Amino acid sequence: MTTIHLALDWTPNINHIGFLIAKELGLYEQQGIELSIINPAEDNYQVTPGKKLELDHADFAIAPFETVISLNNKTNKVDAVAVFAILQNDLSSIVTLEKSGIVSPKELDGKVYASYKARYEDHIVKQMIVNAGGTGSIEISYPEKLGIWNTLLEGNAASTWIFDNWEGVEAESKNVALNKFKMGDYGIPYGYSPVVLAKQSNIAKNKELYGKFINLTKEGFLYAQSNPKASVDILEKYAGQYQDIDLAKTLEVTAQHFGDKETCGIMQAERVSSFIKWIVDNGLENEGILKQTLFTNALVRP
């Protein structure tokens, strides 16, 4: 058996279901792979998934596409590349509580935004506000990452960034009404999130193994679409502590966004380049990133 280490971007949730299914159904094991899942709760997110990849604590890391750009453009460059898109559509939103009365991003001026301190995050949120007619003059707080969602629910922040198919379902389960603002509706061509990252040097050394792992993972995500009951039972084993979330509902609203046999895991060059160009146009990185190899579909289609 060969152990592959996967660093999650969050505690186990619906976006990880393909990995969990492939592990629990023995798909990895049948091919000589043992999956070791690194849960960020183990160190309370002291080390990010991208950093775990950089330090070779993980073969693969799950993160937003922005992490690939960041790793490739830091002083100690990491030759990271995105190899699998978990979602084919953007299921993230900037949200406010409906009872706050904030119905447009422009009304976030002067309010507290709870940030994950992710690459470009604060600028994206400020630009959304500007594009909506505001000034972008928000107050930014940086709570502990795993507690950020609660800062909104407890009234310690006016807005934050969520996944509609996880925190959004939790809010619905708790009868907490939200106002949701999508990046694409405010002129921001947001890229893929989350994606699976690997080092190009490691891919070169382990292409057959890594390709096998990615395609078994793809099988897991496709299985979730056609076997919802069994899949939710597996998800509950890993995410059962989230008693306030309707796990069946999270799969119901997510499954179609995994793509089909042809598109699952695949990234489109035009979508990636649109996001990268937006980053350059907004002065967040120089034009050099336009020429970098930041993603590949080679492991999904070996």
- Report how far residue 77's alpha carbon sits from residue 71's, in angstroms, rounded to the nearest whole number: 6
pLDDT at 268 exceeding the cut of 80: yes
Domain presence at residue 298: no
**How many whole angstroms separate alpha carbon 23 and alpha carbon 104?**
42
Of 186, 203, 234, which one is at a domain's C-terminal end?
186
Give SS3 for 188: coil
How many domains does the structure of the chain reveal?
Answer: 2
Q: What is the pLDDT of residues 37-90, one digit of tens each?
A: 999 989 988 999 999 999 999 999 999 999 999 999 988 899 999 999 999 999
Domain that holds residue 118: 92-186
Same domain, 41 and 112: no
Is 112 in the same domain as 237?
no
Reported as a single tens digit per residue, the pLDDT across 100-134 is 999 999 999 999 999 999 889 999 999 999 999 99
Q: Is 61:50 a contact under the CB 8 Å cutoff? A: yes
CB 164 within 8 A of CB 95: no
Same domain, residue pair 182 and 261 = no
> Is residue 300 in a domain?
no
Distances (CA, A) of 65 to 69, 90, 120, 196: 7, 12, 11, 9
Q: Is 182 inside a domain boundary? A: yes
**Encoded amino acid at 236, one letter:** E
Looking at the structure, tell me whether residues 249 and 218 fall in a common domain: yes
Q: What is the pLDDT of residues 184-210, one digit of tens each?
A: 999 999 999 999 999 999 999 999 999
pLDDT band of residue 302 (cuts 50, 70, 90) is: low
Burial class (CB in 10 A: 0-12, 13-18, 19+), 108: buried
Alpha carbons 18 and 254: distance in angstroms, whole number: 12
Single out the residue in 186, 217, 249 at which a domain terminates: 186
Burial-class residue 256 by CB neighbours within 10 Å (0-12, 13-18, 19+).
exposed
**Nearest-angstrom CA–CA distance, 204 and 32:** 19
Domain boundary among 186, 203, 222: 186
Q: 243: pLDDT confidence band, cut at 50, 70 and 90?
A: confident
For position 181, which CATH number holds? 3.40.190.10
How do strand 112-114 and strand 139-141 relate by DSSP bridges? Answer: parallel
